């Protein structure tokens, strides 16, 4: 499927679907399933040095909620408009075990023209630098560094990070860039009004690509128990986040130009959602929770749908990048729709028929 081939900076992918990190990418079996399903890249579940982050995995909970905010069964039959709410943690494996597993998986990925991506989450920067060095020395081809998990304000102190200042993002990326020369993808938080500024800081300090943007924190009261859903604030995501992801992609492309490769994440469920992220300016797009919820078949189905769409439009994946974003106009450029707003006002009652 030559139509699907694409590039993310220095990295060439057989297609723009990235199997993104979550619990189904902890064990080798899950990552191998993503590779076999045809993903262009597979991101292994993240690690760092924090024991608290590992502990958090053992306390993790996940719920799929219907549009009425009530739990639905965790299965492929869940409705399309499901919201996934969770408190997650990091891989339970020791770093050395995680690294050995990633190296073995990388060989399997390479055999199928899939790029295996190692993923670290920032806790202590010196420790992250050490782990990044080992990732490169082990021969892994790409490092994703997540500095924007939703959980920093809720988790044990120092377990994970939600970086919100461009200065800090720049300093962190510069340290990792000084350490490794392999492609470096920086995953940013979406809990900021400054995502394009954060992306700019990452690129200016040596990032090859920026993944935008991480899930948001939410709070869902349960009307039956009167308790918070799953007891506390949760990371939330679902189809409804796609417009926000596309907005960050389009704004970042406008700000940074078309030569800064972006990766879309958060809210993609299928091939047409990947198409939407490409049109908004992503060079590739990740899918995590749809696969964790519905299984690895989502990957093949999404690729087939994306390929059909590209064929119908006479485009390659690369051609699609940024097409809609570059046609985005300012509000003032929009045509006049004089008095359009009046259709939302109830008709005035006939004289003498007013009701009290």
Ligand X SMILES: Cc1cc2nc3c(=O)[nH]c(=O)nc-3n(C[C@H](O)[C@H](O)[C@H](O)COP(=O)(O)O)c2cc1C
Question: Rule CB under 6 A: which residues touch ligand X?
Answer: 20-23, 45-46, 62, 84, 86, 88, 90, 119, 121, 146, 187, 214-215, 237, 265-268, 286-290
Q: Which neighbouring-strand residues pair with 121?
A: 146
**The tokens 């191998």 sit on which residue?**
32
- Do strands 11-13 and 6-8 pair parallel, antiparallel, or not at all (unpaired)? antiparallel
Residue facing ligand X at closest CB distance: 289
DSSP bridge pairs for 278: none
Given its phi and psi angles, is residue 80 left (phi above 0), alpha (psi -120 to 50 degrees) or beta? alpha
In the complex, least distance from residue 345 CB atom to ligand X, rounded to whole angstroms: 38
Q: What's the distance, Cα to Cα, between the start and end of the chain in Å?
A: 67
Nearer to ligand X, 11 or 21 (CB): 21
* Side-chain-facing half-sphere of 230: CA atoms under 13 Å: 22
C-beta of residue 170 within 8 angstroms of C-beta of residue 206: no
Cβ distance to ligand X smaller for residue 60 or 316: 60
Q: Which two tokens stand for residue 129?
A: 């630098």
| Pairing of the two strands 61-65 and 142-146 | unpaired
* CB nearer to ligand X: pick between 86 and 209: 86
Return d(Cα 101, Cα 66) in angstroms, integer: 36
Provide DSSP, 122-171.
Answer: -SSHHHHHHHHHHHHHTT-SEEEEE-B-TTTTTSSTTSS-B---HHHHHH
Q: How far is the CB of 211 from ligand X (least distance, A)?
A: 8
CB of 255 to ligand X, least distance (A): 22
Q: Tell me whether residue 154 or residue 316 sits nearer to ligand X (CB atom).
A: 154
Sign of CA dihedral 92, 146, 286, 269: positive
Give min distance, CB of 84 to ligand X, in A.
Answer: 6
Strand partners, 237: 84
Minimum separation from the CB atom of position 175 to ligand X (A): 19
How far is 345 from 13, CA to CA, in rounded Å? Answer: 52
**Which C-beta is closer to ligand X: that of 258 or that of 294?**
294
Minimum distance, C-beta of residue 6 to ligand X, in the bound complex (Å): 18
Shortest Å, Cβ 149 to ligand X: 7
Nearer to ligand X, 15 or 146 (CB): 146
> In whole angstroms, how large is the CA radius of gyration of the chain?
21
Nearer to ligand X, 121 or 278 (CB): 121
Name the minimum Å distance from CB 26 to ligand X.
8
Residue with smaller CB distance to ligand X, 88 or 209: 88
Phi-psi region of 215 (alpha: psi -120 to 50; beta: other; left: phi over 0): beta
Task: Decide whether 83 or 205 has the Cβ nearer to ligand X.
Answer: 83
Smallest distance, ligand X to C-beta of residue 293, A: 9
């Amino acid at each position: 499927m030559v139509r699907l081939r694409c590039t993310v900076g220095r990295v060439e992918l057989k297609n723009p679907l990235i199997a993104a990190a979550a619990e189904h990418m902890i064990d080798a079996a899950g990552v191998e399933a993503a590779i076999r399903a045809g993903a262009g890249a597979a991101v292994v579940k993240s690690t760092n040095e924090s024991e608290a982050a590992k502990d958090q995995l053992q306390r993790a909970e996940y719920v799929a909620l219907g549009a009425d905010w009530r739990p639905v069964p965790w299965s492929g039959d869940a409705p399309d408009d499901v919201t996934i709410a969770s408190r997650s943690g990091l891989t339970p494996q020791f770093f050395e075990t995680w690294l050995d597993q990633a190296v073995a998986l990388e060989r399997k990925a390479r055999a199928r023209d899939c790029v295996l991506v190692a993923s670290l989450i920032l806790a202590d920067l010196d420790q992250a630098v050490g782990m990044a060095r080992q990732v490169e020395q082990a021969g892994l081809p790409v490092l994703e560094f997540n500095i924007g998990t939703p959980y920093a304000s809720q988790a044990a102190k120092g377990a994970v990070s939600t970086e919100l200042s461009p200065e800090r993002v720049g300093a962190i990326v510069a340290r990792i860039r000084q350490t490794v020369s392999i492609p470096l993808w920086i995953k940013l938080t979406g809990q900021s009004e400054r995502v394009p500024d954060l992306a700019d800081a990452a690129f200016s300090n040596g990032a090859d690509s920026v993944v935008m943007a991480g899930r948001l924190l939410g709070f869902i009261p349960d009307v039956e128990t009167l308790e918070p859903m799953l007891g506390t604030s949760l990371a939330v995501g679902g189809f409804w986040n796609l417009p926000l992801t596309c907005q960050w992609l389009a704004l970042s492309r406008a700000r940074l130009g078309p030569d800064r490769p972006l990766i879309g994440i958060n809210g993609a469920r299928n091939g047409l959602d990947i198409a939407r992220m490409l049109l908004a300016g992503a060079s590739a797009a990740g899918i995590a929770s749809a696969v964790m919820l519905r299984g690895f078949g989502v990957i093949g189905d999404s690729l087939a749908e994306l390929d059909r769409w590209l064929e119908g439009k006479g485009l390659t994946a690369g051609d699609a990048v940024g097409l809609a974003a570059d046609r985005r106009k300012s509000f003032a450029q929009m045509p006049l729709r004089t008095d359009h707003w009046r259709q939302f006002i109830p008709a005035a009652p006939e004289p003498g028929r007013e009701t009290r």
